[in-house]
Structure 1
Amino acid sequence: MKLHIRASGPEDDDALHHIYFRAVREGTAQFYTQEQRIAWAPSEKRQKPFDAALICWVAEDEAQPVGFVAVEPGGYLDLAFVLPEYIGRGVAKALYCEVLEWADKEGLDRLTVHASHQARRFFLRQGWTIDYAETVERNSQKLERFAMSLMLKNPR
């Protein structure tokens, strides 16, 4: 695997949606029922563009997008997904390192996320804290997720 991380642009929206769709539908199967996964990612076809206000990085293997992460300017990780066949191969960690580098340059002292069961395990390994668990409703299905945070050591 030859991994390359780059900033994303609007031309990546379809590829990012494909990663999101597969990550939810396939990658979270051990944690969520089929009905929950369908409610979470109802359509393989992208319904709207990604929010242009998000700062987003794409991980590519051989010029093919295999994962991405998107963060709000204040430090909320809004989206973080990796293709199922790339889980455990360093893609999430490489994207995460981009977020940490960006947060340091921005002078942020804290990052936050609402993580799925799948993502929670990754974030816990990176030193994040679970602030609380909650249940949200998506298309009439209840999904458990975790509000998490990471305090950053920023000397500014």
Structure 2
Amino acid sequence: MEATTGLTIRSADVADGPALHHVFVSSIREIDETFYSSEQKLAWEAAVSPDSWPTRILELTFFVAVRDGEIVGFISWQRSEIEHVYALPNQTGIGSILMRHAIASMPVGDLALTSSLNAERFYQKFGFWSVEALLKVRRGVEIPCIRMRRTA
């Protein structure tokens, strides 16, 4: 069940950078080690500088989920590519709310994304299917992921 009480979805602002980084890092740290090792998670989180968020916000379409004044999740995209979907670990249903918002808001029907291993089933619920396995290298560490697509 999704907890929507008191939740607001709004456009991100460059001042949201520190909160976005907190959500990003918190989300990665909570991934079960059956998917990614501690070394992989540390490389993943270290690959994104806390100072990079304002630029990301300006370059992408970016929305945040806010509850009680706190950013609890975010989503971003550019054209037909979903770039980020992250939520605080204790915020059940936020990712689904953000995905529905993005799918309804995006100007194109065919979508693509690169999923972490742990999120593949989540994206499948929104009609995405796996296209190919990929390896991203972050800080010299290989991080397996999955390229996914969805047609309108």
TM-score (norm 1): 0.86
Deviation of 1:30 (Å): 3.9
Report the identity percentage: 24
Question: Which amino acid counterpart does residue 110 of structure 2 have in structure 1?
Answer: R
* Distance change >3 Å, CA 44–CA 144, structure 1 → 2: closer
1:77 equivalent to 2:119? Answer no
**Corresponding residue of 1:12:** 16
SS across alignment from 1:41: helix
**Corresponding residue of 2:59:** 53
SS across alignment from 2:30: helix
Q: How does 1:1-156 map to 2 (within 5 A)?
A: 1-42=5-46, 46-49=50-53, 50-51=55-56, 52-72=58-78, 74-86=79-91, 89-103=92-106, 106=107, 108-152=108-152
Measured in 1, the distance between the counterparts of 2:9 and 2:110 equals 23
Deviation of 1:44 (Å): 9.2
Deviation of 1:48 (Å): 2.1
Contact persistence 1:21–1:44 (CA under 8 A)? no
CA RMSD of aligned residues (A): 1.7
Structure 1: gaps spanning 5 or more residues: none
Question: Which amino acid counterpart does residue 115 of structure 1 have in structure 2?
Answer: S
* Distance change >3 Å, CA 44–CA 136, structure 1 → 2: closer
Deviation of 1:120 (Å): 1.3
